[in-house]
Amino acid sequence: MRRLLGRVLSPLAWVLGTPLVRRTLVIVLLVALATASLAFAKFDVNLLLFRLERDNAGPLGLRLGLDLQGGSHLVYQAVEEGGAKPTPAQMEGVRQTIERRVNPLGVTEPVIQIMGDDRILVQLPGLKNVEETKRLIGEMAVLSFKVREYQPDGAFVDANLNLSGDDLDRGYEGVHPTTNAPVVYLEFGSTGTRTFAEATARIQGTRNCLAIFLDKEELVCPVAEEAILGGTAFISGPDFTQERVRTIAIQLESGRLPIPLQVVQEWGVDASLGSDALAKSLVAGGVGLALVVLFMVLYYRLPGLLAGLSLAFYAVLVVSIFKLFNVTLTLASIAALIISIGMAVDANVLIFERMKEEIRGGRTLRASVEVGFNRAWSAIWDSQITTLIACVILMWFGTRIAASLVVGFALTLAIGVLVSMFTATYVTRTLLLLAMVAQVGRRFPLFVTRDNIPAAARGASALGERS
């Protein structure tokens, strides 16, 4: 029985071990994963410690940008006071404050990010009441302190304290002087020091605590073991982590020194306009892809047909990457995607022209395929790497001027270029090698015209053609 099983498994292991079969299995696996990710608009999958959840409202469950879904686009700039520029921690605090204020509005996947040194981009898909949102965002963060006194029944009362963010000189993360545990340090000015000393003397040795609020949201409520008279203290806790300590410190900074904001860019997109643009863009992309495939088939014959199959795989793979990595799809992204399709075709053209030269030089079809890919790779790499460099420059430039469309275009183009390199040099090559195995791939007329077939090969019966 063992010998019989060995005789059955040995050929299977040999077949699966060949490079061509492995390449084919990789492509089949990628196609299956990409198709499965697009087949379900909404899914929630737990893979060991990794959770993948998508619930976007766009077609195929894609995340649509502001220009396709409709909504509001705002860019805020921090107003410098006294010539002092805001620090990165202060800008991060402002971003978190805006995020807290926007989330209760029910906006689907708002985009709130720092652009450059002093600007914040706010994109609110589907939001109609823009003026109310501007008023809410434009308000400066308010940091306040209250004494929390617990009652015998377990309830508590927060008593107002004449202490605010104006009295706090500094809030920053650090470590405990003896245990090295993460803590948050507070430093008060002269006026704040007196009030803080009175408050800590009031609650020392009790379970009452000093509640700290930012925009009426409680950040932390520490107790005091003794009165703190020097104006410098630290807040510790058994559940304090480095991340939580950093977050609290940033929130304290955002309320300590409120940064005035002013709107420097504002525009809105109607939802019907976005859906119409999406429909027309998809039609344009489909027509363009079909024309490219038709040209490749008519001009390059069988390799052109296989390149068309590779382009179809490219389209499915790119769209699935957009979905799995939650890339925002905008009109600029669609334009970049169409451009990358043309670049993928350009790589195939370089390869097929090299193959023609090798066939005219008298090589066999399989050798022409191998040599054609190897010799075209340097040209493909040089052209694509320059495009990737341009994408990096565009992304840097877009973040500096808060141009999200530029950033989206560059990111999508970079993804398309990387995937096109894979499909042109791996998928198309595998399909051609599979064609070599089949009889259909052994006929010169399916690759080049009769004038380009070497004279020595025109009468070879193994090629399936009679002179």
- Whether the per-residue pLDDT at 424 is higher than 70: the answer is yes
What is the reported pLDDT for 203? 92
- Return the structure tokens found at 457: 């090969």
**pLDDT in the model for residue 461:** 37
Q: What pLDDT does residue 425 have?
A: 82
Average pLDDT over residues 85-100: 80
Query: pLDDT at residue 459 above 50?
Result: no
Three-class DSSP category at 196: helix
> Per-residue pLDDT for 454 more than 80?
no
Alpha-carbon distance of 256 to 427, in angstroms, equals 57
- Residue 274: predicted pLDDT: 63
b vs e for 199-219, b when ≥16 Cβ sit within 10 Å of the residue's Cβ? bbebbeeeebbbbbbbbeeeb
Q: What is the average per-residue pLDDT within 317-332?
A: 83
CB-count exposure of residue 126 (10 Å: 0-12, 13-18, 19+): middle
Residue 10: pLDDT above 70? no
Q: Which of 1-15, 55-69, 447-461 holds the top average pLDDT?
A: 55-69
pLDDT for 145 equals 93
Q: What is the mean pLDDT of residues 221-246?
A: 90
In this predicted model, what pLDDT tens digit does every residue of 38-86 receive, in sequence order?
887 777 777 666 666 666 666 777 777 777 777 788 888 888 766 677 8
pLDDT in tens, 168-223: 988 889 998 888 899 999 999 888 999 999 999 999 999 999 999 987 888 899 99
Going by C-alpha positions, the residue among 259, 194, 189 that lies closest to residue 227 is 194
Mean pLDDT across the chain: 79
For residue 15, pLDDT over 50 is answered with no
Strand residues in 302-369 grouped as ranges (E):
328-329
CA dist 263 and 267 (Å) reads 11
pLDDT at 279: 74
Instruction: Kindly tell me if the per-residue pLDDT of 464 is higher than 50.
Output: no
Span 425-437, mean pLDDT? 83
Domains of the chain listed by start with CATH number:
18-51+270-463 (1.20.1640.10), 71-140+260-268 (3.30.70.3400), 143-256 (3.30.1360.200)
pLDDT digits (tens, 9 = 90+) for 252-300: 877 766 677 888 888 776 665 566 777 777 787 788 788 888 888 888 8
Please tell me the predicted confidence (pLDDT) of residue 460. 43
User: Given a cut of 90, is residue 453 above it in pLDDT?
Assistant: no
Angle at 51 between CA 45 and CA 56, to 5 degrees: 70
pLDDT at residue 12 greater than cutoff 80: no
Residues 6 or more apart whose CB falls under 8 angstroms from that of 209 comprise 148, 203, 221, 222, 223, 224
State the pLDDT at residue 5.
53
- Rounded distance between C-alpha atoms, residue 90 and residue 467, angstroms: 80
Of 138, 131, 136, which is closest to residue 77 (Cα–Cα)?
A: 138
Q: What's the confidence (pLDDT) of residue 79?
A: 80
Which pLDDT belongs to residue 430? 87
**Are 367 and 375 within 8 A, CB to CB?**
no
Q: What is the pLDDT of residue 88?
A: 83
